[in-house]
Structure 1
Amino acid sequence: MKSALSSKVEEKEIIVLDSLTFGAPKTKEMIKVLENVKAAKKALIIMAEKDENVIKSAANIPGVRTALVSTMNVYEIINYTSFIVTKDAINKIEEVYA
């Protein structure tokens, strides 16, 4: 896991967001976020805690997947070009994998 994460850092494929929240599930809003951060077509969004609005907002976008820090796996990290993570998720990753 550490090696997969390190390779994303080296390849500059990690996008860190202060936060990612939506008041309601909005696919258009998620698309705007992905465009603003210049995410690749295959993007993995990692969250510290489950957020149904984020999950539903990303669900209908081809090539985009959401996961929790507790459920992410090496295959997903390697398979997706953009690794989008919130600061809270970074802190949780550091706790789990440090």
Structure 2
Amino acid sequence: MSKVAEARPQAQVFDARSGEGSTLDLSGARFETEPKEHVIHRAVVQELDARRRWTASTKGRSEVRGSGAKLWRQKGTGRARVGDAQSPIRYGGGTWGGPKPKPARYGKRINRKEAVAAFNGALSAKAADGEVFVLDSLAFDAPSTKAARELVDQMGLAGPVLLVLTEDDGNAALSFRNLPEVAVVTGREQYGVYELLQAREVVFSRAAYAKLVGEEG
């Protein structure tokens, strides 16, 4: 990951209808924040930790079925001393130290200031490396994977690509989602630092770019 250059970064703008290209100066904290790797690392760990499903669960001694009575008397049988059938050392007994559903407070936590700095730093690094694109005139009258493929080829995107749209770009989202190298999101809440780092190129529709800049800070 390279540091943000002193010169103002630029996005490559591509007109989806005419096929013409241009550049756009990127300014503001979203694209001019110095990336700090330790903050970005903390953000990625927190994001992945928050996505864990925590479906694994085991039953403890008090949760398994069975009598709580001692199985046989302590002495005189010639067998080892034993308690009830719920003991963790017996087949069918409770599990000691096994996984349980997610507790109320678990995992890594970062404050909002760190989270914003990590996101802006990761996006700024993409901008500095020339990996941010803006799509103009992105209008699909109907879903068309073929048209989406042609657009990706015309832009020269190598992938993996993170395509950021708005909820109004429904047909475009349906068109691009069938391309294996393109991950489509339609809101800021659907992607974070991890998705930015996973993608080689980040492509914004003009509306999504304007919305992201408007939410800055």
Q: Normalising by the residue count of structure 1, what TM-score does the alignment of the two structures yield?
A: 0.89
Give the counterpart of 1:55 among 173, 187, 192: 173
Alpha carbons of structure 1 residues 87 and 22: separation in structure 2 relative to 1, 3 Å = same
- The structure in which a higher percent of residues are helix is 1
Unpaired runs of 5+ in structure 2?
1-118
> Match of 2:195?
76
> Match of 2:141?
23
In 1, are the aligned partners of 2:132 and 2:203 still within 8 Å (CA)? Answer: yes
1:33-89 residue CA offsets vs partner (Å, 9 max, x unmatched): 101111122111111334221121112211211112322211111101111112221
- Of the two structures, which has the highest relative contact order with CA contacts closer than 8 Å and spacing of 6 or more? 1
> Match of 2:51?
none
Matched, 1:36 2:147: no
In 1, are the aligned partners of 2:162 and 2:203 still within 8 Å (CA)? Answer: yes
Matched, 1:91 2:213: no
Matched, 1:65 2:183: yes
Distance in structure 2 (CA, Å) of the matches to 1:32 and 1:5: 26
Q: Compute the RMSD of aligned alpha carbons.
A: 1.4
Q: Normalising by the residue count of structure 2, what TM-score does the alignment of the two structures yield?
A: 0.43
Q: Secondary structure at the match of 1:97?
A: coil
Q: Larger deviation: 51-60 or 5-14?
A: 51-60
- The structure in which a higher percent of residues are strand is 1
Kindly name which structure, 1 or 2, has the bigger radius of gyration based on alpha carbons: 2
Distance in structure 2 (CA, Å) of the matches to 1:49 and 1:40: 25
> Match of 2:60?
none
Q: How many residues are matched?
A: 98
Matched, 1:45 2:142: no
Q: After the TM superposition, which parts of structure 1 deviate over 6 Å for at least 4 consecutive aligned residues?
A: none
Given residue 87 of structure 1, which amino acid in structure 2 is its aligned partner?
Answer: R
Q: Percent same amino acid among aligned pairs?
A: 30
